[in-house]
A = this chain, B = another copy of it.
């Protein structure tokens, strides 16, 4: 849907913010009635907290905003397929829809690991896949170069 691209673009902007903070560039947005009620990006390094993934942060923000534990009528837009932890959290939240950009080729992607979302959750994948993937690849490319440079100094 056209609207999915619109919201994924906002999530991608968040991922860019993470990139410039030297965080793994993943961004997420939660919408309710087609209005953004939460947006954030990966902050694991900044907060020194392995649970501070973009999805966890926006789930928390959305629950706070709606004053509800279960956010059945909301949609999550995230630039990378959620990990097992985030998929577990999405299950508890009973979120209505999850739209993701790039798929996660590592073993920690929730699809590979066999983790399931809530039966009521609709799942869509591949929205702006190339842009989302390119940003992550760029991040790790620079990381590798930086490591190699360190070796030679």
**Interface membership of A99, Cβ < 8 A:** no
**A67 neighbours in B (Cβ, 8 Å):** 48
Contact between A89 and B50, CB atoms less than 8 A apart = yes
User: Residues 56-86 of chain A: 1 if any B CB is under 8 Å from the residue's CB, otherwise 0?
Assistant: 1001100110011110000000000001111
A68 nearest CB neighbor, chain B only:
B48
CA distance A48 to B56 in the complex (A): 14
**A69 neighbours in B (Cβ, 8 Å):** 44-45, 48-50
- Known A-B contacts A49-B69, A50-B63; the reply to A87 vs B84 at CB < 8 A is yes
Oligomer copy total: 2
Residue from B48, B64, B84 in contact with A84 in the complex, judged by beta carbons closer than 8 Å: B84
Q: A50-B89, A51-B56 are in contact. List 6 more A-B contacts (CB 8 A).
A: A45-B69, A48-B68, A48-B69, A84-B87, A84-B115, A85-B92
Q: Which residues of A contact B (CB under 8 A)?
A: 44-45, 48-51, 56, 59-60, 63-64, 67-70, 83-89, 91-93, 108, 113-116
Instruction: Identify 8 residue pairs between A and B in the complex whose beta-carbon atoms are under 8 Å apart, listed by A's number.
Output: A50-B69, A51-B51, A51-B92, A84-B84, A84-B87, A85-B85, A86-B88, A91-B108
CA distance A45 to B68 in the complex (A): 10
**A91 neighbours in B (Cβ, 8 Å):** 84-85, 108
- Known A-B contacts A64-B48, A68-B48, A69-B49; the reply to A88 vs B92 at CB < 8 A is no
A119 to chain B, nearest CB (A): 11
Contact between A88 and B84, CB atoms less than 8 A apart = yes
